[in-house]
Structure 1
């Protein structure tokens, strides 16, 4: 037996799922806090409101505006001293409980394992919250582990971002602790149905599925009224959008079908196993081609979102640079994960110096493609792929926003991707992602304006989740 889920996770699951209301003490009476002298950044519409007030009662905004509201004598008043306020951040790609990856070999069989640990989930949760991340989408992993964190956070057992989760990733090859293997219509329906009955928020489909399997899984997810996340490679993004995938992840639309016919055959002839296709596809792609134009049009038509996760690919493309593997903020990543990345699990297995050179040469093409998606009206969000090599909780979220800004997206628009766009993808736009009356009081305060310069994220002062103040991390510029 190899890498069973830690016992503490099952203890947490019991706490999170099987308590009774009598377990809790009587809730305190609702209290109010009035925040004054705030510069509000309304990210959804790109507007700033100076000298504003926010009244928070029982975890929600009950007033947001420029006139001082009438409040009772026992209302706490907090002067934000002209600080800049954004809605709480949403990381739409965070495998929060993912631990070390390993494998076993028995004869000709190689079996992969992903550990899931409560300790790692709690570590990541606290770090992310310190950097202003108040909500996450966990796009796949062990079903019970992902739901355990979600329910524990909701009940207050764990302090961290609220979570909206997918269960085990559905693929043709099993990966213990991460993905379930399917091989026919019955197993696909069973995999979707089991996760739906357990209470997941999304269904995640992976690269091994063909177009027909994607159609079947998406139809079954729709029957359960669950949105579908797709990590697609051989099947094109256009086909995925047309077959029912609601959300695409990773700025790697590396299907050969999206290459011009005249270069496709040559690309396929030199295709190597491994992650070389990440940069080789970009070297072969023509972003003015009819294939790419049609794909982008399909994403817009079907309102299919894209979560680029630029940081995880930057870390791969520049994985021979000490700025990645010796990043000064690696102390924010769990030590067990860092050790796993150094000794086994990384995305550059088999890469030589020439491969890194080629990858780094096409990196501007990756960023230009993401900017193109944004300009064409594709809904983009901010996600990090937390749990994967060299992704640091919290730190890499700021890196992701900086990479998006480096791609040519304005700072105010990047903040929109991190807040209201994320809320749309979570289907919580009615209660998250905005500074407005009735919304959950998640917000972040900065001493400098991040809508003018994205590097001002590092001036973070306060993080408020559900009206509760959390201390930010000591963040290096």
Structure 2
């Protein structure tokens, strides 16, 4: 993004002079020198000695000792005074363009839809950047809306993260804007082919598919050179991985096949439909039992891409109380989405007080399973399910890291999940997710070391986006503050 374009986007039209955020805005395209900064080396669980990182254009040019004259020569210097530098964060589950879930009558029938909204996309994009999220995977959505978003970024019309996109989820039932129905292997091939032609980077398969159609979707995605990810329930994750599935989303494996026969019978005897399974299934699952052991072994063997989205489920489990997720949403979610969640659409529709208590009672089991999976060598990443109830752009990714840390996932693994691992999973590990020469200059400057406390990822001093240094004041503007 051009610097002059960024400035014009952030300046209120009524102001003649730039606000503090842009008072020292650079001009002329001179290199940028980030001096006196420790690089967070999560792979080795340490930080470097003080360095000078030289950025030319949108890429890192050199990394040398702090104060190196060659790094500073002809550059715009930024003395970071011993702060900490890490790659920009990657949210692997951000429905960037998704609008509210709506119900309407059409030809006498009730129809649900989730149409894209470009205004929501821009709102989300600005706040993602403000919280240090420089790349996202949009795991399901309208590909025309995704193309418009990318074009606006390319034209310099807006500020936002780079997006890797899936099309509408492929399921046994359609939902305008969000899901496409298929009923045969032939239809699956047609839908996958059409999505790839429309620019899909991933193929997203969904819970209603039969095992045969799930396998057909995986195979069709691979024929077209695309990875396949899935949100699964009735089909066991272990079976799907054996089929060749590349990735799984959400730590909610509510499959009867992941319970012992006794557990399965007890669950099915009292199970209710809908989202009650979010806690009822966990009441019977043993995260230390043989089924859990088999799942961990499958993750080690197949190394799927995985994002737990704990924050989305935790927000549902505590929805009956005042909580940080609601506070975040009130400050940073788009007003249309916030009104929608306040009016009726949440993941806890119909839950009674005892249901919320049961959900909170199983949370330690969810945490334990998360810790076990994140301890494997699978391609573990971070995601939020942004644009779904009570998930706010940007800040909720920091909440996700905190929840995983509370579950026992080490800080260095969380940082890798949110940077290097995600970039590799996106097929962009040769240009994103690391601090090294020739890598894109998407960077996060922190006031404190996130290896000491993962909550320090929120202590943002500046964000570098495509080589552009965004100060704290600029980030506050992007947040709408």
Fold in common (TM above 0.5): yes
Contact 2:442 2:465 (8 Å CA) reproduced: yes
Distance 2:166 2:328 in 1: 32
Indicate the residue corresponding to 1:223 in structure 2. 223
1:141 partnered with 2:113: no
Distance 2:71 2:308 in 1: 44
Aligned-partner SS, 1:116: coil
- With 282-291 and 241-250 compared, the bigger mean Cα shift is at 282-291
Distance 2:275 2:187 in 1: 28
Q: Given the superposition, is the C-alpha separation of residues 243 and 354 from structure 1 closer, same or farther in structure 2, using an over 3 Å criterion?
A: same
1:448 partnered with 2:456: no
Structure 2 unaligned segments of length 5 or more: list them: 1-26
Q: Given the superposition, is the C-alpha separation of residues 30 and 331 from structure 1 closer, same or farther in structure 2, using an over 3 Å criterion?
A: closer
Superposed CA offset, 1:447-477 (max 9, x none): 11121112222321100011112244459xx
Indicate the residue corresponding to 2:21 in structure 1. none
Aligned-partner SS, 2:431: coil
Pairwise CA distance, 1:301 = 1.2
Pairwise CA distance, 1:297 = 1.5
Indicate the residue corresponding to 2:340 in structure 1. 340
Indicate the residue corresponding to 1:409 in structure 2. 409
Contact 2:286 2:365 (8 Å CA) reproduced: no
Pairwise CA distance, 1:413 = 2.1
Indicate the residue corresponding to 2:46 in structure 1. 47
Indicate the residue corresponding to 2:209 in structure 1. 209
- With 235-244 and 371-380 compared, the bigger mean Cα shift is at 371-380
Pairwise CA distance, 1:302 = 1.4
Indicate the residue corresponding to 1:263 in structure 2. 263
TM-score by length of 1: 0.90
Indicate the residue corresponding to 2:278 in structure 1. 278
Contact 1:412 1:452 (8 Å CA) reproduced: no
Pairwise CA distance, 1:379 = 2.4
Distance 2:449 2:172 in 1: 47
The RMSD of aligned alpha carbons is 1.8
Superposed CA offset, 1:354-373 (max 9, x none): 11010000111111111010
How do residues 317-356 of structure 1 correspond to structure 2 at under 5 angstroms?
A: 317-323=317-323, 326-327=326-327, 330-356=330-356
Indicate the residue corresponding to 1:64 in structure 2. 63
Aligned length: 448
Distance 1:64 1:71 in 2: 8
Distance 1:69 1:197 in 2: 49
Aligned-partner SS, 2:82: coil
- With 136-145 and 121-130 compared, the bigger mean Cα shift is at 136-145
Aligned-partner SS, 2:248: strand
Pairwise CA distance, 1:329 = 5.5
Superposed CA offset, 1:21-54 (max 9, x none): xxxxxxx986311211001102233231021110
Q: Given the superposition, is the C-alpha separation of residues 157 and 242 from structure 1 closer, same or farther in structure 2, using an over 3 Å criterion?
A: farther
Indicate the residue corresponding to 2:121 in structure 1. 121
Pairwise CA distance, 1:438 = 1.1
Superposed CA offset, 1:89-124 (max 9, x none): 000000011111111246884321112111100000
Pairwise CA distance, 1:71 = 4.8
Distance 2:148 2:290 in 1: 45
Q: Given the superposition, is the C-alpha separation of residues 326 and 305 from structure 1 closer, same or farther in structure 2, using an over 3 Å criterion?
A: closer
Indicate the residue corresponding to 2:34 in structure 1. 35
TM-score by length of 2: 0.89
Distance 1:318 1:242 in 2: 35
How do residues 272-311 of structure 1 correspond to structure 2 at under 5 angstroms?
A: 272-311=272-311
1:235 partnered with 2:235: yes
Pairwise CA distance, 1:292 = 2.3
Indicate the residue corresponding to 2:87 in structure 1. 87
Distance 1:157 1:223 in 2: 36
Aligned-partner SS, 1:83: strand
